[in-house]
Structure 1
Amino acid sequence: MDRLIQNTLIDLFAEHGVALEPDEDWLLTEGDDYPALRGIWHEGKDGGMGRLDLDIVLDEERTIEESFGGVGGGKAGCRDALDSFARNDFHVVLAACWHTVNKDKLAVHELTAGMHRFNAYIGDFTLRGEKDAPMEIPEDGLSALEAAISTAPLTNDVHWIRVFYGNVGDGKTQVEVLLDNEPWAAGHKAVASVDWPQHDRYYSLRNFIALVPVD
Protein backbone atom coordinates (compact mmCIF):
# COMPACT_ATOMS: atom_id res chain seq x y z
CA MET A 1 0.00 0.00 0.00
CA ASP A 2 2.92 2.34 0.69
CA ARG A 3 4.00 2.09 -2.95
CA LEU A 4 0.47 2.88 -4.16
CA ILE A 5 0.36 5.98 -1.95
CA GLN A 6 3.80 7.21 -2.96
CA ASN A 7 3.30 6.61 -6.68
CA THR A 8 -0.12 8.31 -6.66
CA LEU A 9 1.23 11.35 -4.83
CA ILE A 10 4.33 11.58 -7.04
CA ASP A 11 2.14 11.52 -10.16
CA LEU A 12 -0.33 14.03 -8.72
CA PHE A 13 2.35 16.57 -7.84
CA ALA A 14 4.24 15.97 -11.09
CA GLU A 15 1.10 16.88 -13.05
CA HIS A 16 1.42 20.33 -11.48
CA GLY A 17 5.15 20.80 -11.98
CA VAL A 18 6.41 19.64 -8.57
CA ALA A 19 8.94 16.81 -8.40
CA LEU A 20 8.95 14.63 -5.30
CA GLU A 21 11.62 12.06 -4.50
CA PRO A 22 11.01 8.96 -2.34
CA ASP A 23 13.19 8.58 0.75
CA GLU A 24 12.00 5.51 2.67
CA ASP A 25 8.48 6.40 3.93
CA TRP A 26 8.76 10.05 2.91
CA LEU A 27 8.51 12.05 -0.28
CA LEU A 28 10.99 14.92 -0.33
CA THR A 29 10.92 18.05 -2.41
CA GLU A 30 13.57 17.77 -5.11
CA GLY A 31 16.81 19.39 -3.94
CA ASP A 32 15.54 20.19 -0.43
CA ASP A 33 14.45 18.53 2.81
CA TYR A 34 11.21 20.52 3.15
CA PRO A 35 8.37 20.39 2.52
CA ALA A 36 8.22 16.62 3.01
CA LEU A 37 5.15 14.44 2.60
CA ARG A 38 4.13 11.05 4.00
CA GLY A 39 0.95 9.01 3.70
CA ILE A 40 -0.05 6.07 5.92
CA TRP A 41 -3.10 3.88 5.24
CA HIS A 42 -5.07 2.29 8.09
CA GLU A 43 -7.39 -0.50 7.01
CA GLY A 44 -10.95 -0.30 8.37
CA LYS A 45 -12.23 -2.91 10.79
CA ASP A 46 -14.77 -5.52 9.65
CA GLY A 47 -15.08 -3.97 6.21
CA GLY A 48 -15.63 -0.44 7.56
CA MET A 49 -14.14 2.79 6.26
CA GLY A 50 -10.35 2.97 6.31
CA ARG A 51 -8.27 6.09 6.95
CA LEU A 52 -5.39 7.75 5.15
CA ASP A 53 -3.19 9.92 7.37
CA LEU A 54 -1.12 12.55 5.54
CA ASP A 55 1.72 14.45 7.18
CA ILE A 56 3.18 17.50 5.43
CA VAL A 57 6.30 18.68 7.24
CA LEU A 58 6.91 22.39 6.79
CA ASP A 59 10.09 22.60 8.88
CA GLU A 60 11.66 20.97 11.92
CA GLU A 61 8.89 22.22 14.20
CA ARG A 62 5.64 22.30 12.19
CA THR A 63 3.66 19.55 10.49
CA ILE A 64 0.25 19.68 8.83
CA GLU A 65 -1.69 16.57 9.89
CA GLU A 66 -4.70 15.61 7.79
CA SER A 67 -6.83 12.45 7.57
CA PHE A 68 -9.19 11.19 4.87
CA GLY A 69 -11.70 8.38 5.02
CA GLY A 70 -11.64 5.80 2.26
CA VAL A 71 -14.68 3.77 1.22
CA GLY A 72 -13.92 0.15 0.37
CA GLY A 73 -11.32 -2.33 1.44
CA GLY A 74 -7.66 -2.46 0.54
CA LYS A 75 -6.46 -0.56 -2.50
CA ALA A 76 -9.96 0.63 -3.42
CA GLY A 77 -10.37 2.36 -0.07
CA CYS A 78 -6.89 3.84 -0.22
CA ARG A 79 -7.51 5.21 -3.72
CA ASP A 80 -10.79 6.71 -2.54
CA ALA A 81 -9.00 8.51 0.30
CA LEU A 82 -6.26 9.75 -2.02
CA ASP A 83 -8.96 11.09 -4.33
CA SER A 84 -10.47 12.98 -1.39
CA PHE A 85 -7.10 14.59 -0.73
CA ALA A 86 -6.79 15.54 -4.41
CA ARG A 87 -10.26 17.13 -4.42
CA ASN A 88 -10.00 18.94 -1.10
CA ASP A 89 -6.57 19.80 0.33
CA PHE A 90 -4.24 19.34 -2.60
CA HIS A 91 -4.40 22.71 -4.36
CA VAL A 92 -4.30 24.55 -1.03
CA VAL A 93 -1.15 22.80 0.19
CA LEU A 94 0.35 23.10 -3.28
CA ALA A 95 -0.06 26.88 -3.05
CA ALA A 96 0.94 27.31 0.58
CA CYS A 97 3.84 24.86 0.76
CA TRP A 98 5.13 24.57 -2.81
CA HIS A 99 4.18 28.10 -3.98
CA THR A 100 2.23 26.82 -7.00
CA VAL A 101 -1.12 28.62 -7.22
CA ASN A 102 -3.96 27.53 -9.50
CA LYS A 103 -6.66 30.17 -9.10
CA ASP A 104 -9.10 27.99 -11.03
CA LYS A 105 -8.99 25.50 -8.13
CA LEU A 106 -8.98 27.79 -5.09
CA ALA A 107 -9.76 31.30 -3.93
CA VAL A 108 -7.03 33.68 -2.81
CA HIS A 109 -7.89 36.46 -0.36
CA GLU A 110 -5.71 38.80 1.68
CA LEU A 111 -6.70 38.77 5.36
CA THR A 112 -5.43 40.60 8.42
CA ALA A 113 -5.24 38.91 11.82
CA GLY A 114 -3.95 41.12 14.60
CA MET A 115 -0.76 42.80 13.36
CA HIS A 116 -0.13 40.36 10.54
CA ARG A 117 -1.29 40.14 6.92
CA PHE A 118 -1.83 36.80 5.23
CA ASN A 119 -2.63 35.41 1.84
CA ALA A 120 -5.49 33.00 2.48
CA TYR A 121 -5.64 30.03 0.12
CA ILE A 122 -9.18 28.70 0.34
CA GLY A 123 -10.24 25.39 -1.14
CA ASP A 124 -13.72 24.42 -2.26
CA PHE A 125 -16.18 22.84 0.13
CA THR A 126 -16.24 19.21 -0.96
CA LEU A 127 -19.30 17.05 -0.47
CA ARG A 128 -19.61 13.44 0.57
CA GLY A 129 -22.91 11.68 1.04
CA GLU A 130 -26.15 11.09 -0.79
CA LYS A 131 -26.22 12.15 -4.43
CA ASP A 132 -29.37 14.19 -3.83
CA ALA A 133 -27.87 16.02 -0.84
CA PRO A 134 -27.75 19.83 -1.08
CA MET A 135 -24.79 21.29 -2.95
CA GLU A 136 -25.27 25.03 -2.46
CA ILE A 137 -22.98 26.57 0.14
CA PRO A 138 -24.46 29.42 2.22
CA GLU A 139 -22.98 32.82 1.39
CA ASP A 140 -21.94 33.35 5.01
CA GLY A 141 -20.19 29.98 5.21
CA LEU A 142 -16.80 31.52 4.52
CA SER A 143 -17.44 35.06 5.74
CA ALA A 144 -18.20 33.83 9.25
CA LEU A 145 -14.95 31.89 9.27
CA GLU A 146 -12.95 34.83 7.88
CA ALA A 147 -14.36 37.03 10.66
CA ALA A 148 -13.10 34.53 13.24
CA ILE A 149 -9.68 34.44 11.56
CA SER A 150 -9.41 38.23 11.76
CA THR A 151 -9.56 38.10 15.58
CA ALA A 152 -7.37 35.01 16.06
CA PRO A 153 -4.02 35.55 17.85
CA LEU A 154 -1.92 34.27 14.96
CA THR A 155 1.85 34.45 14.72
CA ASN A 156 3.62 35.56 11.54
CA ASP A 157 3.92 31.97 10.31
CA VAL A 158 2.02 29.60 8.04
CA HIS A 159 -1.26 28.46 9.60
CA TRP A 160 -3.88 26.00 8.40
CA ILE A 161 -7.56 25.46 9.12
CA ARG A 162 -9.64 22.38 8.49
CA VAL A 163 -13.44 22.57 8.59
CA PHE A 164 -15.79 19.61 8.80
CA TYR A 165 -19.57 19.88 8.84
CA GLY A 166 -21.82 16.82 8.95
CA ASN A 167 -25.58 16.76 8.49
CA VAL A 168 -26.65 13.64 10.40
CA GLY A 169 -30.41 14.06 9.92
CA ASP A 170 -33.30 14.82 12.29
CA GLY A 171 -31.74 18.24 12.93
CA LYS A 172 -28.51 16.75 14.29
CA THR A 173 -25.14 18.01 13.06
CA GLN A 174 -21.42 17.44 13.53
CA VAL A 175 -18.96 20.34 13.48
CA GLU A 176 -15.20 20.19 13.83
CA VAL A 177 -12.82 23.08 13.13
CA LEU A 178 -9.09 22.69 13.64
CA LEU A 179 -6.46 25.44 13.62
CA ASP A 180 -2.90 24.13 13.25
CA ASN A 181 -4.15 20.60 14.05
CA GLU A 182 -5.86 21.68 17.29
CA PRO A 183 -9.58 22.26 18.05
CA TRP A 184 -10.40 25.94 17.53
CA ALA A 185 -13.35 27.16 19.61
CA ALA A 186 -13.88 30.46 17.75
CA GLY A 187 -13.85 28.69 14.40
CA HIS A 188 -16.28 26.06 15.69
CA LYS A 189 -18.64 28.78 16.87
CA ALA A 190 -18.43 30.56 13.50
CA VAL A 191 -19.17 27.43 11.47
CA ALA A 192 -21.95 26.29 13.82
CA SER A 193 -23.64 29.71 13.48
CA VAL A 194 -24.16 29.27 9.72
CA ASP A 195 -27.55 28.14 8.43
CA TRP A 196 -26.31 25.07 6.58
CA PRO A 197 -28.80 23.19 4.38
CA GLN A 198 -30.72 20.52 6.27
CA HIS A 199 -31.39 17.12 4.74
CA ASP A 200 -33.02 13.93 5.94
CA ARG A 201 -29.98 11.89 4.97
CA TYR A 202 -26.36 12.14 5.94
CA TYR A 203 -23.95 14.38 4.06
CA SER A 204 -20.69 16.05 4.99
CA LEU A 205 -18.79 19.11 3.82
CA ARG A 206 -15.07 19.56 4.20
CA ASN A 207 -12.92 22.61 3.59
CA PHE A 208 -9.22 23.39 3.95
CA ILE A 209 -7.61 26.83 4.25
CA ALA A 210 -3.96 27.84 4.53
CA LEU A 211 -2.72 31.24 5.69
CA VAL A 212 0.68 32.36 4.44
CA PRO A 213 2.29 35.60 5.70
CA VAL A 214 2.47 38.38 3.15
CA ASP A 215 6.11 39.28 2.47
Structure 2
Amino acid sequence: MIESSRYDAAVEVGIAAFCGGEEAPSDEEVWQRLVDAGVEPWLAERLLIFLPMAYTRRLLPDLSYPDGVATPSGRVSLPAEPVFVAALDRAQRAGRGEIERIALRSAEFNAINNALNAGSQLHDLMLGEARLMNDLEPAGQGDGGVPSPRAVFEGLLRGHGVALDGETKAGAELFVHPASAGAVMAQVDFAVSHPALARPWLVESFAGYGATWREAIGEAVNRFSLGALHPILDGLLLPGAAPGQVERERYDHPSGAYELVLGAQLNLFADRPVPSAGSLLDRLLQALRAEPLTRKVHGLRLFTSHHDGRLQINEVLLDSEPWPGGEQVVADSRALLPDGRVAVRIFGLLVPVEDA
Protein backbone atom coordinates (compact mmCIF):
# COMPACT_ATOMS: atom_id res chain seq x y z
CA MET A 1 0.00 0.00 0.00
CA ILE A 2 1.34 3.43 -0.97
CA GLU A 3 2.15 5.50 2.13
CA SER A 4 0.56 8.80 1.09
CA SER A 5 -0.60 10.02 4.52
CA ARG A 6 2.82 11.42 5.39
CA TYR A 7 2.34 13.98 2.61
CA ASP A 8 -1.04 15.29 3.83
CA ALA A 9 0.57 18.47 5.19
CA ALA A 10 2.81 18.87 2.12
CA VAL A 11 -0.27 18.89 -0.10
CA GLU A 12 -1.83 21.66 2.04
CA VAL A 13 1.36 23.67 1.67
CA GLY A 14 1.27 23.11 -2.09
CA ILE A 15 -2.35 24.25 -2.33
CA ALA A 16 -1.48 27.42 -0.43
CA ALA A 17 1.38 28.12 -2.84
CA PHE A 18 -0.99 27.85 -5.80
CA CYS A 19 -3.83 29.82 -4.22
CA GLY A 20 -1.99 32.66 -2.48
CA GLY A 21 -2.53 36.15 -3.91
CA GLU A 22 -5.27 37.71 -6.01
CA GLU A 23 -3.76 36.59 -9.31
CA ALA A 24 -2.78 33.05 -10.24
CA PRO A 25 1.00 32.66 -9.78
CA SER A 26 3.31 31.34 -12.47
CA ASP A 27 5.00 27.96 -12.07
CA GLU A 28 8.19 29.81 -11.16
CA GLU A 29 6.38 31.72 -8.41
CA VAL A 30 4.81 28.56 -7.01
CA TRP A 31 8.22 26.87 -7.01
CA GLN A 32 9.84 29.82 -5.27
CA ARG A 33 7.15 30.00 -2.59
CA LEU A 34 7.70 26.35 -1.81
CA VAL A 35 11.49 26.18 -1.73
CA ASP A 36 11.81 29.52 0.09
CA ALA A 37 9.78 27.98 2.93
CA GLY A 38 12.01 24.91 3.15
CA VAL A 39 10.24 22.46 0.84
CA GLU A 40 12.89 20.21 -0.68
CA PRO A 41 13.19 20.47 -4.49
CA TRP A 42 12.10 16.88 -5.20
CA LEU A 43 8.86 17.46 -3.24
CA ALA A 44 8.28 20.96 -4.66
CA GLU A 45 8.57 19.49 -8.17
CA ARG A 46 5.97 16.82 -7.44
CA LEU A 47 3.55 19.29 -5.89
CA LEU A 48 3.91 21.59 -8.89
CA ILE A 49 3.20 18.75 -11.35
CA PHE A 50 0.81 16.45 -9.51
CA LEU A 51 -1.58 18.89 -7.81
CA PRO A 52 -2.98 20.29 -11.10
CA MET A 53 -3.35 16.74 -12.44
CA ALA A 54 -5.22 15.62 -9.32
CA TYR A 55 -7.49 18.66 -9.39
CA THR A 56 -8.32 18.14 -13.07
CA ARG A 57 -9.56 14.67 -12.15
CA ARG A 58 -11.70 16.25 -9.43
CA LEU A 59 -13.09 18.87 -11.82
CA LEU A 60 -13.89 16.40 -14.63
CA PRO A 61 -14.33 13.03 -12.90
CA ASP A 62 -16.18 11.23 -15.69
CA LEU A 63 -13.28 11.11 -18.12
CA SER A 64 -10.91 8.17 -18.43
CA TYR A 65 -7.43 9.36 -17.42
CA PRO A 66 -4.09 7.65 -18.01
CA ASP A 67 -2.41 6.32 -14.89
CA GLY A 68 1.05 7.50 -15.81
CA VAL A 69 3.12 10.30 -17.30
CA ALA A 70 5.91 9.98 -19.86
CA THR A 71 9.41 11.21 -19.11
CA PRO A 72 12.58 11.29 -21.25
CA SER A 73 13.87 8.11 -19.62
CA GLY A 74 10.64 6.18 -19.23
CA ARG A 75 7.26 6.28 -17.54
CA VAL A 76 6.12 7.36 -14.06
CA SER A 77 3.21 5.40 -12.58
CA LEU A 78 0.89 7.83 -10.81
CA PRO A 79 -0.62 5.26 -8.38
CA ALA A 80 2.95 4.50 -7.26
CA GLU A 81 3.66 8.18 -6.45
CA PRO A 82 2.51 8.90 -2.86
CA VAL A 83 2.44 12.67 -3.44
CA PHE A 84 0.00 12.21 -6.33
CA VAL A 85 -2.14 9.82 -4.27
CA ALA A 86 -2.25 12.33 -1.40
CA ALA A 87 -3.10 15.16 -3.80
CA LEU A 88 -5.90 13.13 -5.39
CA ASP A 89 -7.38 12.33 -1.99
CA ARG A 90 -7.27 15.99 -0.92
CA ALA A 91 -8.79 17.16 -4.21
CA GLN A 92 -12.02 15.33 -3.36
CA ARG A 93 -12.56 17.82 -0.52
CA ALA A 94 -11.56 20.93 -2.47
CA GLY A 95 -13.71 24.02 -2.71
CA ARG A 96 -14.59 25.77 -5.94
CA GLY A 97 -11.91 28.44 -5.59
CA GLU A 98 -9.16 25.88 -5.12
CA ILE A 99 -10.37 23.81 -8.05
CA GLU A 100 -10.49 26.77 -10.43
CA ARG A 101 -7.09 28.08 -9.36
CA ILE A 102 -5.28 24.74 -9.58
CA ALA A 103 -7.06 22.52 -12.12
CA LEU A 104 -7.35 25.09 -14.89
CA ARG A 105 -3.59 25.39 -15.20
CA SER A 106 -2.88 21.72 -15.91
CA ALA A 107 -1.72 20.47 -19.30
CA GLU A 108 -4.44 17.81 -19.20
CA PHE A 109 -7.15 20.41 -18.70
CA ASN A 110 -5.74 22.47 -21.57
CA ALA A 111 -5.80 19.39 -23.83
CA ILE A 112 -9.41 18.68 -22.86
CA ASN A 113 -10.41 22.29 -23.40
CA ASN A 114 -8.73 22.43 -26.82
CA ALA A 115 -10.48 19.24 -27.91
CA LEU A 116 -13.87 20.58 -26.85
CA ASN A 117 -13.25 23.85 -28.65
CA ALA A 118 -12.46 21.81 -31.77
CA GLY A 119 -15.87 20.14 -31.61
CA SER A 120 -15.18 16.93 -29.68
CA GLN A 121 -17.68 15.68 -27.11
CA LEU A 122 -16.55 15.17 -23.53
CA HIS A 123 -17.72 11.55 -23.39
CA ASP A 124 -15.74 10.70 -26.54
CA LEU A 125 -12.38 12.01 -25.32
CA MET A 126 -9.50 9.62 -24.72
CA LEU A 127 -6.53 11.36 -23.13
CA GLY A 128 -2.98 10.34 -23.85
CA GLU A 129 -0.28 10.45 -21.22
CA ALA A 130 1.13 13.84 -20.34
CA ARG A 131 4.80 14.21 -21.21
CA LEU A 132 7.32 15.82 -18.87
CA MET A 133 10.25 17.73 -20.35
CA ASN A 134 12.62 16.37 -17.70
CA ASP A 135 12.84 13.34 -15.47
CA LEU A 136 11.53 13.70 -11.94
CA GLU A 137 14.16 14.14 -9.28
CA PRO A 138 14.52 10.99 -7.16
CA ALA A 139 12.21 11.15 -4.14
CA GLY A 140 13.88 11.69 -0.79
CA GLN A 141 13.48 9.30 2.12
CA GLY A 142 12.08 11.84 4.56
CA ASP A 143 9.17 14.24 4.64
CA GLY A 144 10.64 16.68 2.14
CA GLY A 145 10.71 19.57 4.61
CA VAL A 146 7.00 19.40 5.55
CA PRO A 147 6.41 17.11 8.55
CA SER A 148 2.97 15.51 8.80
CA PRO A 149 1.40 16.61 12.12
CA ARG A 150 -0.81 13.54 11.98
CA ALA A 151 2.18 11.22 11.78
CA VAL A 152 3.95 13.13 14.55
CA PHE A 153 0.89 13.01 16.83
CA GLU A 154 0.36 9.31 16.25
CA GLY A 155 4.05 8.75 16.96
CA LEU A 156 3.81 10.64 20.26
CA LEU A 157 0.85 8.55 21.37
CA ARG A 158 2.39 5.25 20.35
CA GLY A 159 5.62 6.29 22.07
CA HIS A 160 3.64 6.53 25.32
CA GLY A 161 2.09 3.12 24.77
CA VAL A 162 -1.28 4.17 23.34
CA ALA A 163 -2.72 1.69 20.85
CA LEU A 164 -4.46 3.33 17.89
CA ASP A 165 -5.99 0.22 16.38
CA GLY A 166 -8.99 -0.01 18.70
CA GLU A 167 -11.28 2.40 20.56
CA THR A 168 -8.80 5.28 20.52
CA LYS A 169 -8.48 7.31 17.33
CA ALA A 170 -6.25 10.30 16.68
CA GLY A 171 -5.68 12.77 13.88
CA ALA A 172 -4.15 16.14 13.11
CA GLU A 173 -4.82 18.55 10.27
CA LEU A 174 -2.69 21.44 9.01
CA PHE A 175 -4.28 24.78 8.08
CA VAL A 176 -2.08 27.30 6.29
CA HIS A 177 -2.55 30.99 7.11
CA PRO A 178 -0.95 34.12 5.64
CA ALA A 179 2.08 35.36 7.53
CA SER A 180 4.58 38.16 7.25
CA ALA A 181 7.28 38.19 4.57
CA GLY A 182 9.96 35.60 5.23
CA ALA A 183 7.75 33.60 7.61
CA VAL A 184 5.00 31.00 7.44
CA MET A 185 2.18 30.22 9.87
CA ALA A 186 0.90 26.74 10.58
CA GLN A 187 -2.28 26.05 12.53
CA VAL A 188 -2.64 22.43 13.55
CA ASP A 189 -5.86 20.91 14.88
CA PHE A 190 -5.05 17.88 17.03
CA ALA A 191 -8.04 15.57 17.52
CA VAL A 192 -8.63 12.50 19.65
CA SER A 193 -11.66 10.22 19.92
CA HIS A 194 -12.41 7.88 22.82
CA PRO A 195 -15.60 6.31 24.23
CA ALA A 196 -15.09 8.07 27.58
CA LEU A 197 -15.35 11.55 26.03
CA ALA A 198 -18.51 13.62 26.39
CA ARG A 199 -18.43 14.27 22.63
CA PRO A 200 -17.09 12.03 19.87
CA TRP A 201 -13.98 14.15 19.25
CA LEU A 202 -11.86 16.43 21.40
CA VAL A 203 -9.96 19.01 19.30
CA GLU A 204 -7.14 21.29 20.43
CA SER A 205 -5.69 23.83 18.00
CA PHE A 206 -2.19 25.32 18.16
CA ALA A 207 -0.35 27.74 15.88
CA GLY A 208 3.33 27.94 15.06
CA TYR A 209 5.50 30.41 13.15
CA GLY A 210 8.83 30.01 11.43
CA ALA A 211 10.98 30.72 8.42
CA THR A 212 10.25 27.21 7.15
CA TRP A 213 7.36 24.78 7.39
CA ARG A 214 9.47 22.45 9.51
CA GLU A 215 9.99 25.23 12.05
CA ALA A 216 6.35 26.39 12.04
CA ILE A 217 4.85 22.90 12.31
CA GLY A 218 7.47 21.97 14.91
CA GLU A 219 6.49 24.94 17.05
CA ALA A 220 2.79 24.03 16.86
CA VAL A 221 3.57 20.43 17.84
CA ASN A 222 5.82 21.60 20.69
CA ARG A 223 3.12 23.88 22.11
CA PHE A 224 0.60 21.05 21.92
CA SER A 225 3.04 18.74 23.68
CA LEU A 226 3.60 21.26 26.47
CA GLY A 227 0.02 22.36 26.96
CA ALA A 228 -2.41 19.58 26.03
CA LEU A 229 -0.74 16.23 25.34
CA HIS A 230 -0.13 15.25 28.97
CA PRO A 231 -3.69 15.90 30.24
CA ILE A 232 -5.02 13.89 27.29
CA LEU A 233 -2.66 11.03 28.10
CA ASP A 234 -3.02 11.07 31.88
CA GLY A 235 -6.68 12.00 32.12
CA LEU A 236 -8.15 10.03 29.23
CA LEU A 237 -5.97 7.49 27.49
CA LEU A 238 -3.50 6.09 30.03
CA PRO A 239 -4.01 7.28 33.62
CA GLY A 240 -0.63 7.66 35.28
CA ALA A 241 1.24 7.89 31.98
CA ALA A 242 2.50 11.44 32.57
CA PRO A 243 3.62 11.63 36.21
CA GLY A 244 4.88 15.06 37.16
CA GLN A 245 3.51 16.60 33.96
CA VAL A 246 -0.03 17.32 35.17
CA GLU A 247 -1.75 18.66 38.26
CA ARG A 248 -4.73 16.84 39.73
CA GLU A 249 -7.37 18.28 42.01
CA ARG A 250 -10.90 17.39 43.04
CA TYR A 251 -13.75 19.37 41.54
CA ASP A 252 -17.24 19.09 42.99
CA HIS A 253 -20.06 19.77 40.55
CA PRO A 254 -23.82 19.41 41.01
CA SER A 255 -23.73 16.40 38.69
CA GLY A 256 -21.08 14.69 40.81
CA ALA A 257 -17.38 14.73 41.60
CA TYR A 258 -14.67 15.10 38.97
CA GLU A 259 -10.90 15.15 38.97
CA LEU A 260 -9.42 18.12 37.14
CA VAL A 261 -6.34 16.94 35.24
CA LEU A 262 -4.53 20.13 34.32
CA GLY A 263 -1.66 20.80 31.94
CA ALA A 264 0.97 23.51 32.15
CA GLN A 265 0.08 27.18 31.75
CA LEU A 266 1.49 28.42 28.46
CA ASN A 267 2.53 32.09 28.43
CA LEU A 268 3.04 33.79 25.07
CA PHE A 269 4.33 37.17 23.88
CA ALA A 270 5.21 38.51 27.34
CA ASP A 271 8.65 40.01 27.96
CA ARG A 272 8.58 39.29 31.70
CA PRO A 273 7.33 36.59 34.09
CA VAL A 274 3.57 36.07 33.96
CA PRO A 275 1.59 35.42 37.16
CA SER A 276 -0.43 32.26 37.56
CA ALA A 277 -3.92 32.31 36.09
CA GLY A 278 -5.11 30.07 38.92
CA SER A 279 -7.59 32.56 40.33
CA LEU A 280 -9.17 33.05 36.90
CA LEU A 281 -9.40 29.28 36.49
CA ASP A 282 -11.11 29.06 39.90
CA ARG A 283 -13.74 31.57 38.77
CA LEU A 284 -14.29 29.58 35.59
CA LEU A 285 -14.78 26.39 37.57
CA GLN A 286 -17.23 28.19 39.86
CA ALA A 287 -19.23 29.38 36.84
CA LEU A 288 -19.12 25.88 35.39
CA ARG A 289 -21.30 24.64 38.25
CA ALA A 290 -24.22 26.34 36.51
CA GLU A 291 -23.70 24.19 33.39
CA PRO A 292 -25.04 20.63 33.15
CA LEU A 293 -22.29 18.05 32.77
CA THR A 294 -22.62 14.40 31.85
CA ARG A 295 -20.70 11.71 33.65
CA LYS A 296 -18.17 11.63 30.87
CA VAL A 297 -14.75 13.22 30.36
CA HIS A 298 -15.04 16.92 29.49
CA GLY A 299 -12.37 19.19 28.02
CA LEU A 300 -11.91 22.76 29.27
CA ARG A 301 -9.65 25.23 27.51
CA LEU A 302 -8.84 28.85 28.29
CA PHE A 303 -7.01 31.13 25.86
CA THR A 304 -6.83 34.86 26.45
CA SER A 305 -4.72 37.65 25.03
CA HIS A 306 -4.33 41.21 26.34
CA HIS A 307 -2.46 44.27 25.08
CA ASP A 308 -1.86 47.04 27.61
CA GLY A 309 -4.62 45.56 29.75
CA ARG A 310 -7.19 45.47 26.94
CA LEU A 311 -8.75 42.11 26.11
CA GLN A 312 -8.03 41.07 22.51
CA ILE A 313 -8.73 37.32 22.43
CA ASN A 314 -11.29 35.62 24.63
CA GLU A 315 -11.67 31.90 23.96
CA VAL A 316 -13.10 29.53 26.52
CA LEU A 317 -14.02 26.14 25.12
CA LEU A 318 -16.02 23.40 26.81
CA ASP A 319 -15.77 20.11 24.94
CA SER A 320 -14.13 21.98 22.03
CA GLU A 321 -17.12 24.34 21.68
CA PRO A 322 -17.34 28.02 22.73
CA TRP A 323 -18.68 28.43 26.26
CA PRO A 324 -20.36 31.86 26.60
CA GLY A 325 -20.53 31.68 30.38
CA GLY A 326 -16.79 31.18 30.61
CA GLU A 327 -16.09 33.98 28.14
CA GLN A 328 -18.15 36.31 30.31
CA VAL A 329 -15.96 35.41 33.31
CA VAL A 330 -12.86 36.33 31.29
CA ALA A 331 -14.44 39.57 30.07
CA ASP A 332 -15.09 40.58 33.69
CA SER A 333 -11.51 39.79 34.79
CA ARG A 334 -8.32 41.83 34.71
CA ALA A 335 -5.28 41.10 32.60
CA LEU A 336 -2.48 39.18 34.27
CA LEU A 337 -0.08 41.98 33.28
CA PRO A 338 -1.16 45.66 33.31
CA ASP A 339 0.82 46.62 30.20
CA GLY A 340 2.48 45.08 27.18
CA ARG A 341 1.33 41.95 25.38
CA VAL A 342 0.49 38.71 27.13
CA ALA A 343 -1.43 35.61 26.13
CA VAL A 344 -2.23 32.68 28.39
CA ARG A 345 -3.44 29.21 27.52
CA ILE A 346 -4.57 26.48 29.93
CA PHE A 347 -6.07 23.11 29.08
CA GLY A 348 -7.45 20.42 31.32
CA LEU A 349 -9.82 17.47 31.48
CA LEU A 350 -12.63 16.90 33.95
CA VAL A 351 -12.66 13.18 34.66
CA PRO A 352 -15.64 11.79 36.62
CA VAL A 353 -14.83 9.96 39.84
CA GLU A 354 -17.09 7.87 41.99
CA ASP A 355 -16.91 8.41 45.73
CA ALA A 356 -16.58 5.26 47.78
Q: Same fold (TM over 0.5)?
A: yes
TM-score bin, normalised by smaller chain? 0.7 to 0.9
Q: Does 1:62 align with 2:200?
A: yes
Measured in 2, the distance between the counterparts of 1:110 and 1:139 equals 15
Query: RMSD across aligned C-alpha pairs, in angstroms?
Result: 2.4
Task: Determine the structure 2 residue equivalent to 1:129.
Answer: 269
Deviations 1:111-153 (A, max 9, x none): 12223221111122101114x2442114412211221223321
SS of the residue 2:296 aligns to: coil
Q: 1:134 to 1:175 in 2, by over 3 A?
A: farther
Task: Determine the structure 1 residue equivalent to 2:328.
Answer: 189
SS of the residue 1:187 aligns to: helix
Amino acid at match of 2:217: C
2:169 to 33, 36, 42: 36
* 98-107 or 178-187: bigger deviation: 98-107
Unpaired runs of 5+ residues, structure 1, are: 21-27
Residues 149, 188 of structure 2: 8 Å contact kept: no
Measured in 2, the distance between the counterparts of 1:198 and 1:135 equals 7
* 83-92 or 199-208: bigger deviation: 199-208
Measured in 1, the distance between the counterparts of 2:225 and 2:284 equals 23
Q: 1:174 to 1:7 in 2, by over 3 A?
A: closer
% of aligned pairs identical? Answer: 22
Task: Determine the structure 2 residue equivalent to 1:168.
Answer: 307
Bigger relative contact order (CA 8 A; separation at least 6): 1
Unpaired runs of 5+ residues, structure 2, are: 1-6, 9-146
Shift of residue 209, structure 1, vs aligned partner: 1.4
Measured in 2, the distance between the counterparts of 1:138 and 1:68 equals 19
Residues 170, 200 of structure 1: 8 Å contact kept: yes
Point out 4+ residue stretches in structure 1 off by more than 6 angstroms: none
* 70-79 or 162-171: bigger deviation: 162-171
More strand by share: 1
Measured in 2, the distance between the counterparts of 1:140 and 1:50 equals 31
Shift of residue 163, structure 1, vs aligned partner: 0.5
Task: Determine the structure 2 residue equivalent to 1:18.
Answer: 161
Residues 192, 202 of structure 2: 8 Å contact kept: yes
Residues 164, 205 of structure 1: 8 Å contact kept: yes
Deviations 1:153-198 (A, max 9, x none): 1111111111001012363432110111221122122233333323
Task: Determine the structure 2 residue equivalent to 1:5.
Answer: 149
Q: Normalising by structure 1, what TM-score?
A: 0.82
Task: Determine the structure 1 residue equivalent to 2:187.
Answer: 51
